[in-house]
Amino acid sequence: MEILVCVKRVPDTAENEFELNSEGNDLDRDDLVYSVNEWDNYAVEEAIQIVDRVGGSVTVATVGDEESEEILRREMAMGANNGVLLSDDAFEGSDGKGVAAILKSEIDSGNYDLIMTGAQADEGAAQVGGMLAAMLDVPYASLVNKIEVVDDKKLKVGREIEGGNQEMSEIELPCVLSIQTGINEPRYVGIRGIRKVAKLEIPVKGASDLGLDEGSVGNAGAKVKRVDYFVPDLGEGAEMLEGSTDEIIEQLIEKLKAKGGL
């Protein structure tokens, strides 16, 4: 099975405390730690496991700047066979539809049976997979937490739905699946693994390589645009307990007693 996994380099929510810049309109990006979008690691792991079972190859693709190459290399260290970086100044400011259009032109140049994305990324929109499927006119399933290969024509997939339940469906290939965390345990990648793939060539493709009209992607083609970042004023928020740990615990115990916690 030929599998393409779409991945993204994102600010790591587990490693960063997000602050606004001095103008208050963007994140303070100076010291941000970036990594592979968490959901994407599960998608790549799942793709590798499928290929281990039924044969084929895994290609990882991303839309981003030159720094995004490092995440492709990381996923190749996990076991992806190929990587491709889709990068062009004209791609900057793309909305979800723009990103999906860029990925679609790369997919059109290959012969893929299965396309995977993470269920969502840093923007929390969970949009690119569904858009890609609609553009490619193939079936789609989101929030997938189980994949069984039935034969070379179809898969049996589970979707995570409300209440921890799982919706099982049969889906025809080719298709697009967005992968939910927890579907597997993504393998660990060490420094040595990264070194092994350090010299592998990763092709870079721009708008003209992909046959894309520059006006249809990037800021020029975007209908949805982020104006600024802000921290909402949500009223009072929590009463913050302060002092030494002993003092805090003393206050907390009184409150827990009053509220039925002790």
Footprint of another protein on 182-201 (CB under 8 A): 182, 185
Does 33 bind another protein (CB under 8 A)? Our answer is no
According to the binding rule CB under 8 A, does residue 168 interact with another protein?
yes
Question: Does residue 253 belong to the site contacting another protein (CB under 8 A)?
Answer: yes
Which is nearer to another protein, 200 or 248 (by Cβ)? 248
- Minimum CB distance to another protein smaller for 201 or for 233: 233
DSSP 8-state assignment for residue 174: S
Beta partners for residue 57, in sequence order: 2
CA distance 4 to 171: 17
Task: Figure out which of the listed residues 13, 21, 109, 208 binds another protein, where binding follows CB under 8 A.
Answer: 13
Peptide bond into 174 cis (omega under 30): yes
Counting contacts by CB under 8 A, is residue 143 touching another protein? yes
CA 58 – CA 40 distance, rounded (Å)? 13
- Candidates 136, 83, 145; CA nearest to 114 is 136
What whole-number distance in Å separates Cα of residue 93 and Cα of residue 216?
A: 11
Shortest Å, Cβ 101 to another protein:
9
Q: Closest CB to another protein among 146 and 214?
A: 146
In this structure, the number of other CB atoms found within 10 A of the CB of residue 57 comes to 14
| Least distance from another protein to the Cβ atom of residue 196, Å | 26
Does position 202 interact with another protein (CB under 8 A)? The reply is no
Q: Which of residues 70-109 bind another protein (CB under 8 A)?
A: 95-97, 100
Question: Are the C-beta atoms of 241 and 251 separated by less than 8 Å?
Answer: yes
